[in-house]
């Protein structure tokens, strides 16, 4: 079972991405949780523990950039990942209006 966190950095502005709505769901299933990033672009999401399985984080990137008056290409960025016994899982997102990148954080 896993505790999940994320951190979003706006690579264009060089700042944390504040106020991005993030949704956690079972892959192909129901929404588990939804929240927005804090003043540091960080968020702990979902229950205290996630069971093993496949999940998706969906980041509302288009709404984030529109709220700043910036044109963007991706209305959402969805990152699928597998939970398999980790105690903590960190899924960061490096964001720009026309690209995004992620990795398995620590």
At residue 2, the pLDDT reads 58
- What is the Cα–Cα distance from 90 to 43, expressed in whole angstroms? 10
Extract the tokens encoding 105: 């954080």
Q: What is the mean pLDDT of residues 44-57?
A: 90
The pLDDT-based confidence of 49 (bands split at 50, 70, 90) is confident
At residue 47, the pLDDT reads 83
Residue positions counted in the chain: 106
- What is the Cα–Cα distance from 41 to 62, expressed in whole angstroms? 16
Q: What confidence tens digit (pLDDT) does each residue in 2-15 have?
A: 589 999 999 999 99
Q: What is the mean pLDDT of residues 39-55?
A: 91
Q: What confidence tens digit (pLDDT) does each residue in 21-41 have?
A: 999 999 999 999 999 999 999
């Amino acid at each position: 079972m896993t505790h999940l966190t994320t951190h979003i950095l706006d690579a264009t502005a060089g700042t944390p991405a504040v106020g991005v709505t993030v949704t956690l769901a079972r892959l192909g299933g129901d929404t588990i949780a939804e929240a927005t990033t804090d003043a540091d672009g960080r968020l702990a999401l979902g229950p205290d523990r996630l069971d093993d399985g496949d999940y998706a984080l969906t980041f509302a990137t288009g709404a984030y950039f529109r709220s700043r008056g910036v044109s963007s290409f991706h209305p959402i960025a969805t990152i699928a990942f597998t939970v398999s016994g980790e105690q903590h899982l960190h899924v960061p997102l490096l964001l720009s209006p026309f690209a995004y990148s992620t990795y398995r954080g620590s």
